[in-house]
Amino acid sequence: MFNPGDTITSHEGWQLHIDEVKEENGLLVYVGTRLDTEETNVTLREVLLDSKLVFSKPQDRLFAGQIDRMDRFALRYRARKFQSEQYRMPYSGLRGQRTNLIPHQLNIAHDVGRRHAPRVLLADEVA
Show Cβ contacts of residue 49 under 8 Å, excluding neighbours closer than 6 positions. Answer: 8, 9, 10, 11
Residues 48-103: tens digit of each pLDDT: 999 887 777 788 778 877 788 899 999 999 999 999 988 888 776 666 667 777 78
Is there a contact between 10 and 29 (Cβ–Cβ < 8 Å)?
A: no
Residues 13-27: tens digit of each pLDDT: 999 999 999 999 999
pLDDT at 96: 65
d(CA 91, CA 113): 13
Q: Does the model's pTM come out above 0.95?
A: no
Q: What is the dihedral of CA 66, 68, 70, 75, to 10 degrees?
A: -150
DSSP strands (E only) in 1-127? 7-9, 15-24, 27-34, 42-45
pLDDT at 89: 82
